[in-house]
C-alpha cells in the first residue's frame, strides 16, 4: 500500500493491529461522513480476497480538511492525518461473499452499502462527501473486476502521478483539470512574472528609461537655473553669470523645449510599446483559450472570458506603459530632489515628514477598502458584460416573449451597481488630493517662514539666499511628488495586479486533453476503432459511460441509438478526443487515441453536428475551413456532394458571398449542407454524424440524407439519430442505455431480439401513423 493523503501512519498501525498486512492492500479510500451527520472517518481497504472497513475515533479535536487546502504557515497539526486515533469499529468481508459495494448518490455526498451473495440483509457502511467519492467508487469497480476476472490490474485504477500531482513539489493538484500548484505558483509573484515579460520589449524599455532619466535631469536643472542661478548669480555682481539674465532665460527656454520634445518622443515610444504588449498578451490569452478542451468552455461564461481578453489586457499593458516609467521618474526625481535639497537647504528636509506621514496614514487606512472596491468594481462590470452577452445571445427569446423592458431593467440594476461602486472608489481616491494639498500648503508656509527668516536675517552672509529658497521649494515638491501620485499609483497597481493574476491564471491552465510527448503520426488512417473497458464522466463520481466495449472495422457504418442523456454524444466526444476517458482506452488503427498526434486526428475525423456554426467570412472560407489549401474544384465538388452548390450559385456573389454574423443569413438547411461540405473536403477516414439532420424538415432531410449516404461510403461512420429511419444503411446498431451498451447487432438481429430497439422502432412507426404521416 502506498500511503495516500488520507492514510496516516496511525491508521496503518491500527490496520496492522487488526491483522492486515499493509502491503496486501491494493486500493484504499476513506468515507468521511457518519450517518449521524457529523464528520467521521471510515477507511476502506481492498485486498485481493477481502475488504476491510475501519472506523476511527481521533484522540483530540480535529479539523476536517477538504481536498486542495494548502497552507504554508499553518502546520495543520489539527488535521486528521496528523492526529492519533483508535478503532471505533472494524469489520471485514470476503470478496466471495460480497455481491457489490453499492453507492447511493445523495446531493454532493453519498452512502456506501455492501450487499451479499447470500440472503443476508444489505449493510450500510458509511456516508461520504464528494471529496472521497472518486476513491470509493474505484473500490466499487475494483470489487466488480475481482469478482469477474479473479485478478485486478491495479494500474487501471491508479491515477497517473504526473497528471494529478505537481511535478515540482509532489502535492496533489487542487483541480485536476487546471493543474496549477498553488504552492509552487505562489513562489513566482505576479509582479515578478510581469517583470519577466519585459526583456521581450527591451528596446522600448531602454528608450523609455533613457528618455525618462533625461527628462528628469532637465526637470532638476530648470529650478536650479530659475532659482539659484537667476537670483543669486545673475542679479549679483562678481561672478560669471552676472547680468546674463537673457542667456539664462534662453537656456531655461531651450531646456524646457528639449524636455517637452523628449517627453513627446517618449510618449510615442510608449504608445508603440503599449500596442505591442497588448497584441502579445491578447495573442497569448487567445492561444490559451484555443488549447483548452471542451470542458473549460462549458464551465466558463463566454462574456466573462471576453472581458478578460479585452479589459484585463488593457490593465496589464497599462503597467508596462504608465507604471514603469512613472516608477523610474519618481526614483530619479526623488533621489535628485532630496540630494539637491540636502546640499542647498538641509534644514527644511525634515518638513517633508509631515506630508509623507499623512499620505502613508491615509493610504494605510484606505488600502484594504480600496482593494475590496476594485475587486467589487471588476466583478460588477464583469457581471454587466455577462448580462449584455446573455441578453444579446438570447435576443430572439427576449423579443418573442416581449421581455425587452425586463432586460433593460436587469441591465440597469447591474449598471447602477457598477456605477455606485465605481463612484465610491473614485470619491475615496479623490479625497487624497485635497488632504495632501492642505498638508503641502501648510508645509510650504513652514518653508517660507524658516527659509524666509534666514534670507532676511542672513542677508549678505550668504547663509540662505532668495535663489536657494526658490530652488529648494521646487526640489521639495519634487521630493514629495511620488507621494502626491501615490493614490493614483495604488489605483493602477491594484487594477493591474488583479488583471495580471487573472491573466496568468488563464495562461497557466494546463489543458486536460493534450498532445502526447511522442505523438504518433499516421500517414494513412484505415479507420479501425476499438473501445475497450471505457468509463467516462464529466464529474468524477458520475459516470456517463460505463465499461464500453466495441470493435468497429474500417469502413463500417455504426448507428448509435438511445434516449436523450444516455451518453451517445459523450461517446462521440471521446472518439473525437474532445475529452479523455477516465478509464479504459480508445484505439484508432491499434494506437491509443491519447498517443496519436492531434493533427492526425483532426485531419482524419470529421464531425457534423446538429448545431452548425458558420464563421464570419465567405462561403468559400467556410467550406474550406478545415482544409484552406483545397482547390476551387475540390470546393465545388464537395459542395455538389453536400447538395449546397445550387443555392450557393443562386446567390449573386456565389462562393464569395459573405456569411456569418452580420452578413447574409442562411437557413438551417443551408448551414447544415455547408457544414457537410466542410466535412467532405477534408476527406476524413472517420465520419461522425451527431443528429446531423435532426433540425431539418423531411424534404431537406431527405436531400441531405442522400448527400450523407454518398459521404459515408467507404468511411468508418458513427451516426447518432433519433429518427431510426436515417440509420437504415447502418451495418450495425448500438443501443446505449444509462451509459451502457445494452444491445448491438444489425437491424434484423435487433428486431428479432424484440428488445429496446424493436420497441423504439414500433413506437416511432405508431407515432407516424397517429400523425398521419
Under the rule (CB under 8 A), what is the footprint of other proteins? Answer: 33, 35, 37-39, 61-71, 76, 78-79, 104, 106-109, 111, 113, 121-124, 127, 129-131, 133, 174-175, 178, 180, 182, 185-186, 299-301, 304, 372, 375-376, 379, 382-383, 501-502, 504-505, 508, 539-540, 562-564, 566, 737-738, 742, 755-756, 759-760
741: DSSP letter: E
Residues 42/54, Cβ–Cβ less than 8 Å? yes
**Closer CB to other proteins, residue 40 or residue 530?**
40
CB contact set of 214 (below 8 Å; sequence gap of 6+): 262
**Closer CB to other proteins, residue 508 or residue 515?**
508
**Closer CB to other proteins, residue 320 or residue 757?**
757
Residues 28/142, Cβ–Cβ less than 8 Å? no
We find the least distance from the C-beta atom of residue 88 to other proteins, in angstroms, to be 16
Taken in order 626, 629, 634, 635, the sign of the CA dihedral is: positive
We find the least distance from the C-beta atom of residue 67 to other proteins, in angstroms, to be 5
- Give the separation between CA 610 and CA 723, rounded to whole angstroms: 13
We find the least distance from the C-beta atom of residue 106 to other proteins, in angstroms, to be 5
**Closer CB to other proteins, residue 184 or residue 250?**
184
We find the least distance from the C-beta atom of residue 691 to other proteins, in angstroms, to be 15
We find the least distance from the C-beta atom of residue 122 to other proteins, in angstroms, to be 6
**Closer CB to other proteins, residue 92 or residue 304?**
304
We find the least distance from the C-beta atom of residue 570 to other proteins, in angstroms, to be 16
We find the least distance from the C-beta atom of residue 580 to other proteins, in angstroms, to be 19
Residues 18/28, Cβ–Cβ less than 8 Å? no
We find the least distance from the C-beta atom of residue 365 to other proteins, in angstroms, to be 16
Cell readout for 758 is 424493436
**Closer CB to other proteins, residue 539 or residue 611?**
539
We find the least distance from the C-beta atom of residue 371 to other proteins, in angstroms, to be 9
Helix (H) or strand (E) holding 584: strand 583-588
User: Up-side HSE of residue 654: CA atoms within 13 Å toward CB?
Assistant: 7
Taken in order 376, 378, 381, 385, the sign of the CA dihedral is: negative
Among 391, 414, 413, 393, residue whose Cα is nearest residue 404 = 391
Question: In a 10 Å sphere around its CB, with 0-12 CB exposed, 13-18 middle and 19+ buried, how is residue 77 labelled?
Answer: exposed
201: DSSP letter: G
Question: Cα–Cα distances in Å, from 164 out to 30, 72, 172, 620?
Answer: 18, 20, 6, 44
Cell readout for 187 is 513562489
- Give the separation between CA 126 and CA 55, rounded to whole angstroms: 9
**Closer CB to other proteins, residue 482 or residue 559?**
559
**Closer CB to other proteins, residue 237 or residue 298?**
298
**Closer CB to other proteins, residue 301 or residue 554?**
301
DSSP helix/strand/coil, 533: strand
DSSP helix/strand/coil, 200: helix
- Give the separation between CA 238 and CA 168, rounded to whole angstroms: 73
Amino acid at each position: 500500500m502506498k500511503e495516500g493523503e488520507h492514510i496516516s501512519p496511525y491508521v496503518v498501525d491500527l490496520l496492522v493491529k487488526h491483522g492486515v498486512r499493509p502491503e496486501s492492500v491494493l486500493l484504499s479510500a476513506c468515507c468521511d461522513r457518519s450517518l449521524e451527520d457529523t464528520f467521521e472517518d471510515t477507511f476502506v481497504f481492498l485486498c485481493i480476497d477481502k475488504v476491510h472497513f475501519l472506523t476511527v475515533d481521533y484522540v483530540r479535536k480535529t479539523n476536517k480538511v477538504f481536498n486542495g487546502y494548502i497552507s504554508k504557515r499553518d502546520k495543520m497539526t489539527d488535521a486528521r492525518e496528523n492526529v492519533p486515533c483508535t478503532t471505533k469499529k472494524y469489520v471485514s468481508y470476503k470478496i466471495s461473499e460480497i455481491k457489490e459495494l453499492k453507492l447511493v448518490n445523495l446531493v454532493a455526498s453519498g452512502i456506501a452499502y455492501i450487499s451479499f451473495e447470500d440472503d443476508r440483509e444489505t449493510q450500510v457502511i458509511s456516508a461520504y462527501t464528494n471529496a472521497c467519492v472518486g476513491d470509493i467508487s474505484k473500490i466499487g469497480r475494483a470489487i466488480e473486476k475481482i469478482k469477474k476476472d479473479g485478478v485486478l490490474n491495479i494500474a487501471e485504477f491508479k491515477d497517473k502521478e504526473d497528471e494529478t500531482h505537481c511535478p515540482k513539489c509532489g502535492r496533489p493538484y487542487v483541480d485536476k483539470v487546471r493543474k496549477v500548484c498553488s504552492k509552487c505558483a505562489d513562489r513566482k509573484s505576479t509582479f515578478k512574472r510581469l517583470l519577466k515579460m519585459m526583456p521581450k520589449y527591451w528596446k522600448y524599455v531602454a528608450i523609455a528609461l533613457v528618455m525618462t532619466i533625461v527628462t528628469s535631469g532637465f526637470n532638476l536643472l530648470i529650478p536650479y537655473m530659475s532659482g539659484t542661478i537667476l537670483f543669486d548669480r545673475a542679479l549679483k555682481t562678481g561672478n560669471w553669470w552676472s547680468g546674463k539674465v537673457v542667456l539664462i532665460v534662453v537656456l531655461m527656454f531651450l531646456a524646457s523645449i528639449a524636455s517637452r520634445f523628449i517627453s513627446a518622443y517618449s510618449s510615442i515610444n510608449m504608445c508603440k510599446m503599449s500596442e505591442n504588449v497588448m497584441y502579445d498578451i491578447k495573442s497569448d490569452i487567445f492561444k490559451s483559450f484555443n488549447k483548452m478542451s471542451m470542458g473549460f468552455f462549458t464551465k466558463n461564461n463566454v462574456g466573462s472570458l471576453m472581458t478578460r481578453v479585452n479589459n484585463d489586457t488593457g490593465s496589464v499593458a497599462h503597467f508596462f506603459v504608465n507604471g514603469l516609467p512613472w516608477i523610474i521618474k519618481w526614483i530619479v526625481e526623488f533621489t535628485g530632489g532630496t540630494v539637491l535639497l540636502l546640499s542647498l537647504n538641509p534644514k527644511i528636509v525634515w518638513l517633508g515628514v509631515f506630508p509623507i506621514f499623512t499620505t502613508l496614514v491615509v493610504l494605510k487606512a484606505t488600502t484594504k477598502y480600496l482593494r475590496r472596491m476594485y475587486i467589487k468594481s471588476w466583478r460588477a462590470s464583469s457581471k454587466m458584460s455577462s448580462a449584455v452577452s446573455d441578453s444579446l445571445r438570447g435576443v430572439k427569446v427576449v423579443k418573442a416573449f416581449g421581455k425587452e423592458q425586463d432586460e433593460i431593467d436587469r441591465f440597469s440594476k447591474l449598471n447602477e451597481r457598477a456605477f455606485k461602486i465605481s463612484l465610491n472608489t473614485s470619491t475615496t481616491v479623490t479625497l487624497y488630493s485635497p488632504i495632501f494639498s492642505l498638508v503641502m500648503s501648510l508645509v510650504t508656509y513652514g518653508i517660507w517662514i524658516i527659509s524666509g527668516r534666514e534670507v532676511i536675517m542672513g542677508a549678505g552672509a550668504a547663509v540662505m539666499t532668495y535663489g536657494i529658497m526658490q530652488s529648494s521649494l521646487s526640489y521639495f515638491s519634487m521630493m514629495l511628488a511620488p507621494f502626491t501620485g501615490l493614490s493614483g499609483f495604488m489605483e493602477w497597481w491594484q487594477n493591474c495586479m488583479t488583471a495580471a493574476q487573472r491573466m496568468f491564471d488563464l495562461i497557466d491552465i494546463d489543458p486536460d486533453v493534450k498532445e502526447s510527448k511522442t505523438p504518433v503520426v499516421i500517414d494513412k488512417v484505415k479507420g479501425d476503432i476499438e473501445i475497450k473497458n471505457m468509463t467516462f464522466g464529466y464529474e468524477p463520481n458520475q459516470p456517463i459511460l460505463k465499461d464500453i466495449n466495441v470493435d468497429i472495422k474500417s469502413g463500417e457504418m455504426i448507428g448509435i441509438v438511445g434516449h436523450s442523456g444516455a451518453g451517445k454524444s459523450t461517446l462521440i466526444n471521446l472518439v473525437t478526443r474532445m475529452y479523455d476517458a477516465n478509464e479504459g482506452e480508445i484505439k484508432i488503427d491499434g494506437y491509443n487515441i491519447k498517443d496519436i498526434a492531434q493533427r492526425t486526428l483532426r485531419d482524419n475525423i470529421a464531425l457534423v453536428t446538429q448545431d452548425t456554426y458558420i464563421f464570419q467570412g465567405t462561403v468559400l472560407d467556410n467550406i474550406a475551413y478545415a482544409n484552406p489549401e483545397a482547390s476551387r474544384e475540390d470546393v465545388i465538388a464537395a459542395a455538389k456532394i453536400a447538395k449546397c452548390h445550387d443555392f450557393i450559385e443562386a446567390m449573386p456573389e456565389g462562393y464569395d458571398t459573405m456569411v456569418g454574423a452580420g452578413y447574409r443569413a442562411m437557413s438551417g438547411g443551408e448551414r447544415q449542407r455547408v457544414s457537410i461540405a466542410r466535412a467532405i473536403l477534408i476527406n476524413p477516414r472517420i465520419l461522425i454524424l451527431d443528429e446531423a439532420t435532426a433540425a431539418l424538415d423531411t424534404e431537406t432531410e431527405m436531400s441531405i440524407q442522400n448527400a450523407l449516404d454518398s459521404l459515408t461510403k467507404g468511411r468508418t461512420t458513427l451516426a447518432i439519430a433519433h429518427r431510426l429511419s436515417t440509420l437504415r444503411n447502418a451495418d450495425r446498431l448500438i443501443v446505449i442505455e444509462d451509459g451502457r451498451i445494452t444491445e448491438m447487432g444489425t437491424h434484423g438481429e435487433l428486431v428479432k431480439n424484440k428488445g429496446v430497439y424493436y420497441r423504439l422502432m414500433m413506437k416511432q412507426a405508431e407515432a407516424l401513423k397517429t400523425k398521419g404521416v
